């Protein structure tokens, strides 16, 4: 199974549902539709209406983050996995670099993953090195340390890992094919050592568009994409899927 996940970040108002409707109508009719899943993560404000609308449709809805406590607590503006699930989301991102840079630690992320899974949310766990770490040849050790959050007791079928090098997010810069192949194999090796020889799906994210997706499709180890900028346009998002299967 391949995944095309659109992360809207701080984008979208109620009428933006039209973007997802267009993506859904392409996806519902695509001859390749059985080979992949489409998930859109709008901001919290839109999760309930989108989840209701797409309930029996092809597109799935997820959230971009969740708080590290399970249900209710006295944390102003926090939104728990229980609350997210109760408005119909099926997935949540955890550990996006935007949130790591605002203070998410491994310990917090472990609680997020654990409580999300407990509340029947599938977790898209994001990892990735920054530019300095890459230049200092620290990519592998950084990734290994980030993956440590995942434990064998978690159900690997409910986890997807998204490799998003920070230097690639929103910059138009992407890793070379060889570099990405090596890193994806490394990530899967570490995951296999945690999950009894079987790796969860591993996605790539960072400046994915309709042109460069042709390069990524040669790397069979990559199970799909986490798409930021291009997911805010139905045409750009659909082009990525079309060109991937072309």
Q: Which is nearer to ligand 13P, 40 or 84 (CB)?
A: 40
Q: How long, in residues, is the chain? A: 246
Q: Give me the least distance between CB of 189 and ligand 13P, in Å please.
A: 23
Q: Which is nearer to ligand 13P, 195 or 234 (CB)?
A: 234
Give 82's contacts (C-beta < 8 A, 6+ positions apart). 70, 71, 72, 115, 119
Q: Give me the least distance between CB of 210 and ligand 13P, in Å please.
A: 12
Residues near ligand 13P (CB under 6 A) = 7, 96, 164, 169-170, 205-208, 226-230
Active-site residue among 102, 151, 164, 221?
164
- Assess whether 179 carries a catalytic annotation: no
Strands (E), the chain: 2-7, 36-41, 60-63, 91-94, 122-127, 159-163, 201-205, 224-227
Q: Give me the least distance between CB of 171 and ligand 13P, in Å please.
A: 7
- Assess whether 151 carries a catalytic annotation: no
Q: Which is nearer to ligand 13P, 7 or 146 (CB)?
A: 7
Active site residues: 96, 164
């Amino acid at each position: 199974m391949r995944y095309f996940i659109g992360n809207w970040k701080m984008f979208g108002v109620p009428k933006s549902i039209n973007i997802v409707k267009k993506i859904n109508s392409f996806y519902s009719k695509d001859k390749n539709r059985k080979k992949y899943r489409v998930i859109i993560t709008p901001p919290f404000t839109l999760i309930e209406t989108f989840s209701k609308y797409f309930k029996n449709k092809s597109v799935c809805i997820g959230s971009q983050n969740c708080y590290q406590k399970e249900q209710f607590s006295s944390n102003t503006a926090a939104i728990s996995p229980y609350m997210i699930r109760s408005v119909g989301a099926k997935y949540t991102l955890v550990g996006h670099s935007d949130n790591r840079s605002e203070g998410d630690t491994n310990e917090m992320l472990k609680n997020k993953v654990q409580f999300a899974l407990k509340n029947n949310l599938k977790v898209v766990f994001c990892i990735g090195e920054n530019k300095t770490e890459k230049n200092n040849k620290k990519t592998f050790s950084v990734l290994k340390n980030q993956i440590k959050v995942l434990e064998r007791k978690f159900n690997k079928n409910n986890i997807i890992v998204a490799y998003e090098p920070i230097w690639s997010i929103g910059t138009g810069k992407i890793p070379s094919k060889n570099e990405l192949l090596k890193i994806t194999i490394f990530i899967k090796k570490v995951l296999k050592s945690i999950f009894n020889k079987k790796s969860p799906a591993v996605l790539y994210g960072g400046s994915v568009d309709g042109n460069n997706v042709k390069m990524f499709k040669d790397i069979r180890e990559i199970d799909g994409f986490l798409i930021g900028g291009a997911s805010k346009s139905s045409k750009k998002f659909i082009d990525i899927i079309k060109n991937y299967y072309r």
